[in-house]
């Protein structure tokens, strides 16, 4: 077996572990899933799992990274479809709330993510994906004078925190109107930042 073939096989094994873990974590929750279930679902041995991941928490981290990147990509795609930077900010923030209503996203990213990895590590991961994009847009809007001049980092954390809290609240909501009401409140909050 050539090195290239072995590398492809290792990558397929890793992908199967992440895919099946994601499916199990999203339906059962992190705490209810054992490594035996994961390796059985992925069709690999525990040795293969430990070759790629030192622990269940490390495997969960890989799943969470994948989910966070997908969320960031969906937000960016929605925002980039808009013309002006302000409209990109508003549509991107609304897209985050919409995406966060997906039960898979809720369970992995909003419920188990902070619980499994701890708040600090979870926040750091969030900052490298959608948090980074939010900071860039805010910086651009401040530079254009659309938002009053102020430090970007605290504003980014305030908005990100508000949206994460709203997403967690929506995850527990049973009222279908809550998403629309939350997005309306979000737009009003963002509009209050505008100079013009």
CA dihedral for 43, 48, 50, 53, sign (positive or negative): negative
The CA distances from residue 153 to 85, 143, 159, 169, 183, in Å, are 18, 14, 10, 24, 23
Mean pLDDT of 164-193: 93
Whether pTM > 0.85 for this model: the answer is yes
Task: Give 68 or 7, the one with higher predicted confidence.
Answer: 68
For residue 174, the tally of other CB atoms under 10 A from its CB is 5
129 pLDDT above the threshold of 80 = no
Whether the Cβ atoms of residue 44 and residue 13 lie closer than 8 Å to each other = yes
Q: How far apart are CA 23 and CA 26, in angstroms?
A: 5
């Amino acid at each position: 077996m050539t090195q290239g073939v072995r590398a492809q096989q290792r990558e397929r094994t890793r992908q199967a572990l992440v895919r099946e873990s994601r499916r199990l974590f999203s339906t059962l929750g992190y705490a209810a899933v054992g490594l035996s279930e994961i390796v059985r679902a992925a069709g690999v041995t525990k040795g293969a799992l430990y070759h790629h991941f030192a622990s269940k928490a490390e495997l969960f981290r890989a799943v969470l990274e994948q989910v966070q990147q997908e969320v960031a990509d969906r937000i960016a795609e929605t925002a980039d479809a808009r013309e002006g930077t302000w409209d990109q900010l508003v549509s991107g923030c609304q897209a985050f709330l919409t995406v966060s209503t997906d039960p898979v996203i809720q369970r992995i990213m909003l419920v188990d993510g902070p619980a499994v990895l701890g708040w600090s590590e979870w926040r750091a991961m969030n900052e490298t994906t959608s948090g980074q994009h939010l900071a860039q847009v805010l910086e651009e809007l401040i530079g254009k004078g659309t938002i009053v001049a102020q430090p970007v980092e605290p504003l980014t954390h305030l908005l990100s925190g508000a949206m994460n809290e709203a997403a967690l609240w929506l995850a527990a909501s049973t009222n279908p109107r809550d998403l629309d009401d939350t997005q309306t409140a979000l737009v009003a909050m963002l509009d209050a930042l505008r100079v013009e």
